[in-house]
Amino acid sequence: MYKFVLKRLLLTIPVLLGVIFLVFTIMSLTPGDPGTLILGLTADKADIAKLNAEFGYDQPFLFRFANYVKNIVLHFDFGNSYRTRTPVFTEILARFPHTLKLSMAAISISSVLGVSLGILSAVKQYSFIDSFFTVLAMFFAAIPGFWLGLMLMLFFALRLGWLPSYGVDTWRHFIMPAITLSMGGAAGLLRLTRSTMLETIRQDYIRTARSKGASERTVIWKHALKNALLPVITSLGMIFGASLGGAIIIETVFGMPGLGTHIVTAIRQKDVPVVLASTLLLASFFCLIMLIVDILYAFIDPRIKSKFMK
């Protein structure tokens, strides 16, 4: 197990380097420069050139990239924000907890709704319940998240006045954003859980358990669900990782001061250190989540656990 974890952690290094290179390249290819965006188009060109030189933006692309990676590896220095001149992680760590809370709330709602309704839909195959939940899942998978967020805001915040429409002051501020962010994932989990459960309950060992007199509850929850959960857990990990990045749109709609809105602002002002550090943080969390998913496999399936122990 320890060898497997160490191997996976080492494999994340080239992945993160690739992420840095890709984002660094995209930010370099976008038009404009930080000096112009900060000082404005009407500023003196000499002042703009001086500010770009201060940021090192006048140097060649590969030289800037090599310096950035060197500072991370040798000094764990991710640079300072071009706008505020403060270390980037000072700003990021003040905003990331809001994004993490939103993603955790969303994945909790997605897992509870998606898995439970998917199991119910599989058990009641071809019934009205099955058809209703299948159509419902297709509906929520098709609608855009920003539209759903605006509709929730219009109904629950403006018309009824039950929930606040912006901010992160209390837990009530996270209800509508979490529901909006979770519906797409819940729809996907419902369909995936239904299909894997239907495939599992048709296996020979399920028929054997029923022939031995096991109750339907025991067959579903003890025998079928455990084997059907493997692809569902993979999907849960990917949805959670994607929700960290996908929260950008939801945070913008609901005016939440999270990491997503911070990245959008940094991209507009070409604040390269903030964009790079934020993306690297999200990519690191995604790699960590997928590692946890692989470890969970070992606790669910003894066959996978035996491979880990080799």
> What is the structure's pLDDT at 255?
79
Longest dimension (CA), the chain: 85
pLDDT of residue 211: 80
Chain-centre distance of CA 56, in angstroms? 32
* pLDDT value of position 45: 77
For the chain, domains (ranges, CATH) are 95-308 (1.10.3720.10)
Instruction: Decide if 67 contacts 58 (C-beta within 8 A).
Output: no
Mean pLDDT by 10 residues, the chain (310 residues): 72 84 83 74 76 76 82 80 82 84 87 86 83 86 82 85 78 85 86 84 76 75 74 79 74 81 81 85 83 74 58
**Cβ pair 250, 145 in contact under 8 A:** yes
SS3 sequence of 159-213: HCCCCCCCCCCCHHHHHHHHHHHHHHHHHHHHHHHHHHHHHHCCCHHHHHHHHCC
Question: Within 13 Å, how many C-alpha atoms sit on residue 196's CB side?
Answer: 24
* pLDDT on residue 309: 54
List, in sequence order, every residue forming a beta bridge with 235; answer none if it has no partner. Answer: none
C-alpha R_g of the chain: 24
